[in-house]
Copies of this chain bind each other. A is one copy, B any other.
Amino acid sequence: MLIVMEKEASDEDIRGVVAKIEALGYVAQPIPGGERTAIGILRNPGPVDPALFVDLPGVQEAIPVSRPYKLVSREMKRADTIVEVTGGVKIGGGHFVVMAGPCAVESEAQALTIAQAVKAAGAQIFRGGAFKPRTSPYSYQGLEEEGLKILAQVRAATGLPVITEAIDHHSLDLVEEYADIIQIGARNMQNFSLLRRAGQARKPVLLKRGMSATLDEFFMAAEYILSEGNTQVILCERGVRGIGSHARNTLDLAAIPFVKRESHLPIIADPSHAAGRRLLVAPLARGAVAVGADGLMIEVHHDPAHALSDGPQSLYPDQFATLMQDIAALRPGQWS
């Protein structure tokens, strides 16, 4: 923490801040500048709350210097975390993985048809929603446990591990039982109660970035999971609120190299939800590979015009197969 004083702060103001710092058990280091004095706080074991200083006489600003996150930080752990999924699939540290499937599991036939198609095209993990967080209470909400059973059948039939979203404690209990990776969606990125529960799970967790979350907030959400003991966390960039309506959200690809520098956790991209329309999915998927993502999550549906959820952004199986070939030409997982 650095406390910046006003230009016209008095010596007494400065002594007041120093006394406050010392009363908290830290060490104060005044730094007289040309125009104004700043006061550094030393020996603090972790971040200090600016609230404690910003209101003292003569104080202009309190600037945090340390990062608020610890366990997710690359300063804490230099080596890339490699998340290991049932069946030997690895994510991170050069292991590039594509997760593909429908937005929602609709039936065994639908799920199996799509799973076989995406497996044939090279996907290594099957995705499909059983609990759907929908903006409208009148939209399709998913098959719930029935959907999880279908996912287990798909895994049995294809050998693909499965990922699906949990939306509350109850569904997380079930997802932990049936699935191979527990997904926490963008709308729940700061559902801290759910994050803690995910931190106690014995399965890897994929955490999506919230729609207007800074990377600090994203890291702190992951920190909740790690702080409960679950270190198998995959981050996922899925787009933030942007300018205009050409895409549903703006895929923030700069987040990927930045996350890889700051954190040891793997990060993948979800171009489907960012795009919101088929036209943009394949280009953004290729872009994500080229910036260095550790993987992709892609929506695929064999009959998107009749999909019960997010049809317009789902690729047809043949489009997905073409995309997988294009990706292979782009050195996936090898950029840093």
Contacts and interface: CB of A to CB of B under 8 A. Distances in A.
Interface of A: 2, 4, 6-8, 29, 31-36, 38, 40-47, 49-52, 54-56, 63, 65-66, 68, 75, 133-138, 167-171, 187-188, 190-194, 196, 211-217, 220, 223-224, 227, 240-247, 250-258, 261, 274-275, 277-280, 283-284, 286-292, 304-307, 310-312, 326, 329-331, 335
Given A35-B66, A40-B38, A304 B55 contact: yes
A242 B240 contact: yes
A50 B291 CA distance: 26
B283 A51 contact: no
Copies of this subunit? 4
A331 B290 CA distance: 11
Interface centre among A56, A191, A306 (most CB of B within 10 A): A191
A279 B257 contact: yes
B243 A240 contact: yes
A275 to B, nearest CB: 6
A223 B136 contact: yes
A238 to B, nearest CB: 12
13 contacts: A33-B41, A55-B311, A135-B190, A167-B191, A167-B192, A187-B191, A214-B244, A241-B243, A246-B258, A253-B284, A256-B283, A257-B284, A286-B291
Given A63-B65, A291-B287, A51 B307 contact: yes
Contacts of A245: 214
Contacts of A280: 254, 257-258
Contacts of A38: 2, 40, 65
A266 to B, nearest CB: 16
B250 A275 contact: no
Given A33-B44, A212-B240, A257-B283, 17 more contacts: A29-B31, A33-B40, A33-B42, A38-B40, A38-B65, A47-B136, A52-B306, A136-B223, A188-B190, A213-B243, A240-B242, A240-B250, A253-B284, A256-B283, A284-B291, A287-B290, A290-B330
A147 to B, nearest CB: 16
B214 A278 contact: no
Contacts of A187: 190-192
Contacts of A42: 31-34
Contacts of A335: 283, 286, 326
A134 B66 contact: no
B243 A212 contact: yes
Given A223-B136, A240-B250, A289-B290, A44 B51 contact: no
Contacts of A41: 33
Given A42-B32, A223-B136, A312-B51, A212 B211 contact: yes
A251 B188 CA distance: 23
A306 B168 CA distance: 34
A253 B254 CA distance: 10
